[in-house]
Amino acid sequence: MTLMRIAIIGCGAIAEKHVAAIAELGGGAEIAALCDISEERLRVFAYRAGIPRFPGATLHTDIDEMLTRPELDLVVVATSSDSHARIALRSLEAGKHVLVEKPLALSMGEARELIRLARAKKLELAVSFQARYSPRIAAMKAAVEEGRFGEIGHGAVAMRWNRDMAYYRSGPWREDWSKGGGLFINQCIHYVDLLIWLLGPLQSVYALAGIHGQFIGVENVGAALLRFKSGAVGIVEASTGVYPRTLGTSISLFGSRGTASFEGTALQEAAVWTFEHNHGSEGADSVSEQRTLSKEHDTDIKLSHTPLYRELLTAIRGGESPIASAESTLPALEAVLGIYQSIKSGLVVELPINEEFHMGGMVWREKG
């Protein structure tokens, strides 16, 4: 098996998850380089992340200098959201496969440009939508595809998190829309993505948002209504201002012949898993499945970075593209950008949106 050499750009908290995932692969890949504009942060991160496990890793503060290294196969972009598209573009131009933390970009135009370039250069481009790899979500998607839900009327997600002022102050971009801050694009995009992945393409979005209890420049509470082309409705409730701590997240699907709901800090508990059986009676198989889905769970959904890496490395070696390919994640990005357009205008936003709409143009809608 060819050893894949990986470079990580950005040495913040999320980069630690990538280091852990690569270490868990158990061979076939190694961290060959780390890069951050802050030399102090770079060296502290290298020490804390246990980079001695990867003795060949080199440290860089210059992205372009690092990208000249011909032995690098994959670049992981784990920087602030406003720099994702720019760094991904430079990495693709240097001939590297790329994994980008969400969001891929802050406009549809930027995102599509990256996908076109990756395709032209025959390079893999993926986005860290690791929640897709949760075994509970995989079971829910299989049930949808098998028709076990019957006609799905609606799906719902609730994200009830706590992010204190220290969180926002630790990275000023987190409270700046123009830099990709805001709960919908920075956190809730994972769960909007899951609804779309499960229920199919969207027709329109409508959203409300506000800032409550914190002096920040982006929304910390919001709600969105999604209309799917199938006729199903999606309901999104989200907050990063829950007192006094994070309560968890839930995702639910409601159909004419089945209902399923997962909840918990990592969607680890199958709260409901009920399907019609033998012409109307609930069968023991549903009860057994529910117990299995609750018992055999990941302790942390973030560990699902590991199967994402496995799929991506297989694709680089000539296999199929991962389920979190950049192209497959475009609908979630478009939905969230549409949500911000709706917050700004106070109107229902029909999809597709204008490709030129950029998070940098966000301002609170004036009352009048």
Q: What pLDDT, in 10s, does the model give residues 197-216?
A: 999 999 999 999 999 999 99
Widest CA span in the chain: 65
Q: Quick one: pLDDT band at residue 175, thresholds 50, 70, 90?
A: very high
Q: What is the pLDDT of residues 337-352, one digit of tens each?
A: 999 999 999 999 999 9
DSSP 256: S
Residue 29: CA count within 13 A, CB half-sphere? 25
In whole angstroms, give the CA distance from residue 166 to residue 242: 15
In whole angstroms, give the CA distance from residue 68 to residue 62: 10
Residues 6+ apart with CB under 8 A from 251: 137, 140, 155, 156, 157, 191, 194, 195, 261, 262, 263, 267
Q: What is the pLDDT of residues 44-60, one digit of tens each?
A: 999 887 765 667 789 99
Nearest to 104 by CA among 73, 128, 124: 128
Q: What's phi and psi for 259, nearest 5 deg?
A: -140, 135
Q: What is the pLDDT of residues 93-138, one digit of tens each?
A: 999 999 999 999 999 999 999 999 999 999 999 999 999 999 899 9
In whole angstroms, give the CA distance from residue 109 to residue 265: 34
Domains with residue ranges and CATH for the chain: 4-130+303-325 (3.40.50.720), 131-301+332-350 (3.30.360.10)
Q: Quick one: pLDDT band at residue 262, thresholds 50, 70, 90?
A: very high
**Model pLDDT, residue 219:** 97
Q: Which amino acid is at 257?
A: R
Q: What's phi and psi for 335, nearest 5 deg?
A: -60, -45
Nearest to 4 by CA among 316, 322, 320, 326: 316
In whole angstroms, give the CA distance from residue 273 to residue 288: 9
In whole angstroms, give the CA distance from residue 330 to residue 339: 14
In whole angstroms, give the CA distance from residue 155 to residue 293: 19
More confident residue, 329 or 281: 329
Across 102-111, 260-269, 319-328, least confident range: 260-269
pLDDT over 70, % of the chain? 89
DSSP H or E segment with residue 250: strand 248-255
Write the CA distances from 157 to 18, 44, 60, integer angstroms.
26, 37, 40
Q: What is the pLDDT of residues 271-284, one digit of tens each?
A: 899 999 744 555 55
Sign of the CA dihedral with 313 first, then 317, 323, and 329 last = positive
In whole angstroms, give the CA distance from residue 277 to residue 205: 35
User: Vertex 167, ends 51 and 34: CA angle to 5°?
Assistant: 20
In whole angstroms, give the CA distance from residue 357 to residue 359: 7
| pTM score of the predicted model | 0.93
**Model pLDDT, residue 365:** 53
Helices (H), the chain: 13-24, 39-48, 63-67, 84-93, 108-120, 135-145, 165-170, 183, 189-199, 284-295, 305-316, 330-345
Contact by Cβ (8 Å): 131, 17: no
Write the CA distances from 23 to 273, 293, 299, integer angstroms.
34, 26, 17
